[in-house]
Structure 1
Amino acid sequence: MSPDGARPVFIIGTERSGSNLLRLILNAHSRITVPHPPHFMRFLAPLAAGYGDLSVERNRRRLVDDALGLLARHIHPWPHPVDRDRVVASAGPTVFGVVAAIYEQHRAAEGKARWGCKSTFMVDHVDEALAEFPAARFVWLVRNPQDVASSAKTAVFGHCHPYRMARLWRTQQERAIAAHTRWGPGVVHLLRYEDLVERPEKELRALCAFLGEEFEPAMLAHHTSPAARRTARLSESWRLAGRPISTGRVGAHLTGLSPTERLLVDKVTAPLKKRLGYPVDERARLVPVPSPPAVALRSALLRSRVELRSARQDENHRLRLARDGYVRWLRVKSLVRRAVPAPRKSVSPA
C-alpha cells in the first residue's frame, strides 16, 4: 500500500444529499479515486458474527467470497477485476479490513494515490475506519432534510415515505455529530450541500485544504468525465450526475413534497435542522404523526410507482434486484453459519 493509500476519504451522512455529485467531483481529482460503493459495510458488518475469527484464513476467505459476490452484482459495476487471493492475503482480520483491501486494489488499478468511499452508511463505522487508518478523513455532507425526503420520494434508493426518510436523516445526523464531536474538525469536515452548489470553488478549495490536496479546476468539470456520463445513464435517480454543478435542486421540496409532508419532516428533524443552519416551520409541532399502518401503506404505494418507473427506464434495474436477492441470501447463510460456528484459531499446547 502506498503511504497515501493509508489516507482514505469517506463521504458520510445520508443518501440523497448530493453524495454522488461529491463522489464524482473528488474522483475528477488526479490523486483521488472514488468508485461507486457496493455498500460493503452496510450489508456485511451486521453479518460479522457469522464469519467467526477473521484471523483464520478460511473464515476470511468466506467473507471475501461474499464481498466479491456483492461486488459482482453491484448496481454500478467497477471497471477493474479484483484478485480474490490478494484480498485474502492482504486484508486485516476485520470486515472493514477486507473492504479496505478491495478498495486498495481499485486504487492501484486506477493509478491514483488515494481511494475514497461514498457509502454514506460509513457514518456508522467511523471508529472502525480510524482504527485501521488513523489518517483517514471524513466529509460529512449534509442537506436540508426536506430536500432529502423529496429526492428519496421518487428514487429507488432510500425510504420513499418522507416520514421514514426524516427519521433516517435524524439518526444519521446524530451519528455524524457524535463523530465530529469526538474526532474534531481536523478529521470530520462538515460540508453543506447548499454551500457546495452555491459556492463550488470556495467550498472545494476548503475541502482540498482539509484533505491536504491541491485544488484542481477539473473538479468543477466533473460532469464531462466518462465516469459521470456512465453514472447518469445507469439510473433515473442519478440523471443529474452528467450535468454541471447547479443550485437547481435547492428547495426541491417546495414542489416535491406536499405542505403536510414538509411539516412532518420538520416535526421529526427540527432540533438538528436548526443546529445545522436550516429554518424550521414552527407549525410543524402541530402536525400529527401518522400511524404505522398508514406509513406502511403509503410507503408501499410510493415504492411500487418507483419500481415500475425503474423497470422501464433504469439500465441497472435487474442488477439492483439481483443485489437485493443476494443480500437476503447472505443473511440466511449468516444464520446458518452462526448455528454451525466457523473454525477458530487452533491453540498449541503449552
Structure 2
Amino acid sequence: MVHNPIFIGGPDRCGKTTLRACLVSHPNISIPSVGSNMWSYFYGQYGDLRQDENVERLLAALLRYKHVRCLDPDPARLRREFAEGPRTYGRLFGLIQQHHAEREGRPRWGDQTGLIERYADVIFEEFPGAQMIHMIRDPRDRYYGSLELWPDGKGRAGGATARWLYSTRLAQRNLRRYPGRYLLVRFESLVRQPEQTLREVCDFLGESYTPAMLSMDGAPEYREKRSHGRPLQPGESPLSEAYIGLYRGAIPPAELAFMQRFAAREMAAFDYQPDPLQFSAAERARLVAVDFPMNMARLTAWRVVEGLQQRAPGRFGRRPSSGMVVRDAGATPQPAGS
C-alpha cells in the first residue's frame, strides 16, 4: 500500500505546529516536531545530483543541520537507497523523512516547513500522491506572534505584510492548480471548531478521525505548553479562542493601518475584517509621509530578496543560521555557485 506524504505549509506563527500536534496523535502519521526546512535551505543549491560529488556535498550539509540531525538519518542507508532510484532533491529529502517515520512505526510521513507552498509544483511532481495543508491566520495576529519571538525583526509590518501576502497568493494559486490535493485551513477555524476542522482534515487525507487528535495525546509537550498551566481533563483540547485578536492593543496603530490597507483584498478573501482606526490630522500626515513609505520599502525589499532566493538558489539560496549548524571536522560544504 502506498502512503502519500503530507506537507504542512504557511508562514511562521500560523498554526503549523498546532496542526502537527493534532496529526501526530493519529496512529498512522509521523511529522517531526521541528520543521525540517530541507526544501528552504538545501533545494537546488548543490548542483545536479546525478553527480556523486554533489550528492556527497549535499549529504554533508544536511547531516550538519540540527533540524535534520534530530531525525537520526543513516548516511549509509541513504546513499544505498538513493542510488537505486531517481537522483533528485525531493527524493533524498523524502527518504530522510520516510526512514524517520519507519523508526517511529508509522506508515505515513509528513513535513512541516514555513512557506513550503513555494515548492508545491516541484513537490507534486516529485510525489504524485502528496497532499499539502496550508495554514493561514489573521495577518495581524501572525505579526504579533512573530514579534513575540523576534522583537527586533528588521522587516516590521512591511516585511510581515509581504510574507503574508506572498503565502496567501500562493494558497489561492495552488488551490486552483491542485484541486483535491491542496487544503486551506484557517487557524481560527481550528481553534473555534477543532473537532469539525480536524474531521475535515482527515476526510481530505483519507484517514479516520480519532479523538486523540483533538486532545493532542501524541504531542504531550505541546499539549502542556498550550494549556498554559490550566489543568485539562482527559480528551480535552488545549486550544482556546484566547489566541484570536491578541494583536489588539499590542501592535502600533500605524502598523495596523499599513497592513489593513495593503492587504485589504486578501484579508477580505479570507474573512479577516479590518479594525476601525482613528488618527489625528498630524498622525495621518505622518502615515503618508513616513510610516507607509518606510513599510512599503521593507515590503519591496522582502519581495526582491525572496525572488532572488527562489529563482537562483545555487547563488542566492537561503542558509541556516550558524547556530543551527554543527561544525564537524573538515570544511563546510559549499553550495553550487559559491
d(CA) in 1 for partners of 2:55, 2:189: 42
Residues 63 and 321 (structure 1 numbering): CA distance in 2 closer, same or farther, change over 3 Å?
closer
- For the Cα contact (< 8 Å) 2:132–2:182, is it kept in 1? yes
Q: Which amino acid letter does the alignment assign opposite residue 228 of structure 1?
A: Y
Mapped to 2, the partners of 1:193 and 1:293 lie a distance apart of 27
Q: Structure 1 residues 113, 227: closer, same or farther in 2, change over 3 A?
A: farther
- d(CA) in 1 for partners of 2:155, 2:192: 27
For 1:1-350, what aligned pairs fall within 5 Å after superposition?
A: 3-4=2-3, 7-35=4-32, 36-45=34-43, 48-49=44-45, 51-70=46-65, 73-74=66-67, 78=70, 80-91=71-82, 92-156=86-150, 161-184=156-179, 186-222=180-216, 225-228=219-222, 232=225, 244-281=238-275, 287-288=287-288, 289-291=292-294, 322-323=323-324, 333-334=334-335, 337-338=336-337
**C-alpha distance in 2, partners of 1:40/1:275?**
31
User: RMSD between aligned alpha carbons?
Assistant: 3.3
d(CA) in 2 for partners of 1:19 and 1:280?
24
Q: Residue 189 of structure 1 contacts residue 210 of structure 1 at CA under 8 Å; is this kept in 2?
A: yes
- 3-state DSSP of counterpart to 2:135: strand
Match in the other structure for 1:300? none
Instruction: Check the 8 A contact 2:97/2:109 in 1, yes or no.
Output: yes
Distance apart, 1:120 and its partner CA: 2.6
CA drift at 1:181: 1.0
Cα deviation, residue 324, structure 1: 6.7
Structure 1 moving runs of 4+ over 3 Å: 156-160, 223-227, 238-243, 281-284, 292-296
Contact 1:151-1:256 at 8 Å conserved across structures: no
CA contact (8 A) 2:63 2:69 kept: no
Closer, same or farther: CA 40–325 of 1 in aligned 2, 3 Å: same
**Contact 2:8 2:113 (8 Å CA) reproduced:** yes
Q: 1:241, CA displacement in angstroms?
A: 11
- How far 1:173 sits from its partner (Å)? 1.1
Q: Which moved more, 1:221-230 or 1:257-266?
A: 221-230
Classify the secondary structure of the residue corresponding to 2:149: coil
Partners of 1:176 and 1:241 lie apart in 2 by 35
Q: Is the 8 A contact 1:197 1:246 kept in 2?
A: yes
CA distance in 1, matches of 2:103, 2:264: 45
The DSSP-based 3-state class of the residue aligned with 2:55 is helix
Query: In the aligned structure 1, how far is the partner of 2:95 from the partner of 2:218?
Result: 30
* C-alpha separation in 2, matches of 1:149 and 1:139: 21
| Counterpart secondary structure, 1:196 | helix
- Structure 1, gaps ≥5 residues long: 233-237, 297-318, 340-350
* Equivalent position amino acid for 1:268 in 2: F
SS at match of 1:154: helix
Q: Secondary structure at 2:13's aligned position in 1?
A: coil
Q: Secondary structure, in 3 states, of the residue corresponding to 1:278?
A: coil
1:133 partner amino acid: F
Say which SS state the counterpart of residue 167 (structure 1) adopts: helix
TM-score under structure 1 normalisation? Answer: 0.75
Question: How many pairs are equivalent?
Answer: 295
How does the TM-score come out when normalised to structure 2? Answer: 0.77
Could you say if the C-alpha distance between residues 29 and 90 of structure 1 is closer, same or farther in structure 2, counting changes exceeding 3 Å?
Answer: same
Q: Which residue identity does 1:83 align to in structure 2? A: D
Name structure 2 gaps, 5 residues minimum.
231-236, 279-283, 300-319
